[in-house]
Amino acid sequence: MTIEFSNAKIYVLNHKEDFRDRILSWYQWERRTMPWREEPLPYYIWLSEIMLQQTRVDTVIPYFHRFIGKYPDIRALAESDTEELMKYWEGLGYYNRVRNLRSTAIHLVENHEGRLPETYEELIRLKGIGEYTAGAIASEAFGEKVPAVDGNVYRVMARLLGVKEDIKERKTQKLLKEAVRDLLPDQQVGDFNQGLIEVGALICIPNGSPRCGLCPVKKYCIAFEEEIQDEIPRKKKAKEKKVEERTVLLLEHEGTYAIRKRPDGKLLGGLYEFPHEEGFYVKEEVEELVKEMDLVPLSIEPLKDKKFLFTHIEWKLKAYHIKVEKPGEMMLFEPRETIREKYTLATAFREYLEKLDEENQQTFL
């Protein structure tokens, strides 16, 4: 690591009491209201941290309320029906998260009397709980003096200490995490961790220039002093996403639509989808494809092209609304309302379901 990093770290550590006080005081007055902060039960903190992975706070809050209304504690989660549980997660995506939640809840009921363990070392052994989540639960729920370092904190600490190395590198993250560990207070450690996260979310923001004038610790920030805030953190250029073209078939028979379940163990495994095929098909090819499914097409209407982004893949979607004479014996046809209420439709296909209402057809075509 750079000499500047060492000097900056020493400077902050020499003033760490003031640094802590500034973070804690700012957090007390400026933190956002979140249900798991107002009632910091271990289960709530765990659930919220899993929901917040790859998802914005504003999106998570209504899902959180709905979820705990149905599954108010770990035992209720452990006893949940898998299909119904997936429905309560629908729209958040990354469905392995909720599968791991249920699996861990069952383990906790069977081995820990339905309670989360109170130490970082025990928490990190649980399925679906990584270093950050274990640190968040241990510090916020149980007051253990451990760091909870997410992307916000890596960014804050990199700017604070003037770190110009790639913050995606493991060795860089390790050093930044150790810097946070050295700054942790003996009391209010959960608030301190959340304070650093909140500074990253509201002030030392990921996109656009940081709002340095509002920062409670700018007097200790190397990037602010040297006016290199927009140059830090440095990241390697992300790999280009693999692009896949697919043709989606919205097969309709008298107000019912064909859906199928994706195989477990694959992308979107266990979720439902509208039938689709790899590649782009023109109208004449779609007609032949439908006939091969032992269906008789009555009309075929092209729909607006769409795209859907996964972490490493981009789907380009061309879709057709196809009315058929009768449902196939090997395919599941259900009304729109039944699909909405009963089946967990993969997010890539949910917008098609919403647009199928005849009254909205003009906005869809």
* CA distance linking residue 261 with residue 269, whole number of Å: 8
Burial level of 256, CB count in 10 A (0-12/13-18/19+)? Answer: middle
Q: Does residue 2 surpass a pLDDT of 50?
A: no
Tokens representing 102?
């249920």
Is the model's pLDDT at 268 over the cut of 80? no
Give the DSSP letter of residue 263.
Answer: P
Is 231 a residue of the active site? no
pLDDT tens column, 184-242: 999 999 999 999 999 999 999 988 889 999 999 999 999 998 999 888 887 777 677 78
242-364 classified as CATH 3.40.309.10: no
Predicted local distance difference test score (pLDDT) of residue 101: 96
Weakest-pLDDT range from 1-15, 135-149, 194-208, 275-289: 1-15
pLDDT digits (tens, 9 = 90+) for 324-353: 988 767 788 988 888 888 888 887 888 887
How many Cβ atoms from other residues are within 10 Å of residue 279's Cβ? 11
Q: Which residue in this structure is represented by tokens 């909870």?
A: 148
Return the structure tokens found at 44.
Answer: 């709530």
The 10 Å CB-count burial string (b at 16+, else e) for 298-330 is eebeebeeeebebeeeebebbbbbbebeebbee
Higher pLDDT, 60 or 267: 60
Helix spans in the chain (H): 3-14, 16-30, 35-38, 42-52, 57-70, 74-78, 82-89, 96-111, 120-123, 131-142, 151-160, 170-183, 189-202, 222-226, 283-292, 336-342, 347-355, 361-364
pTM of the model: 0.79
pLDDT score at 6? 56
Q: What is the pLDDT of residue 95?
A: 85
* 144 has a pLDDT exceeding 60: yes
DSSP string, 273-325: E--EEES---HHHHHHHHHHTT--EEEEEE---EEEE-SSEEEEEEEEEEEES
10 pLDDT band, cuts 50/70/90, is: low
Residue 290 pLDDT more than 50? yes
Question: What's the mean pLDDT in 94-117?
Answer: 94
Give me the chain's average pLDDT, please: 88
33-47: average pLDDT: 95
Cβ pair 193, 37 in contact under 8 A: no
Catalytic residue among 49, 90, 165, 198: 49
CATH architecture observed for domain 3-231? Orthogonal Bundle (1.10)
Collect all residues with Cβ–Cβ distance below 8 Å to 342 and sequence separation of at least 6: 83, 87, 334
pLDDT on residue 339 = 87
pLDDT value for 8? 60
The count of residues in the chain is 365
Q: What average pLDDT does this structure show over 68-96?
A: 92
- pLDDT tens sequence across 88-101: 998 888 888 999 99
Domain boundary assignment for the chain: 3-231, 242-364
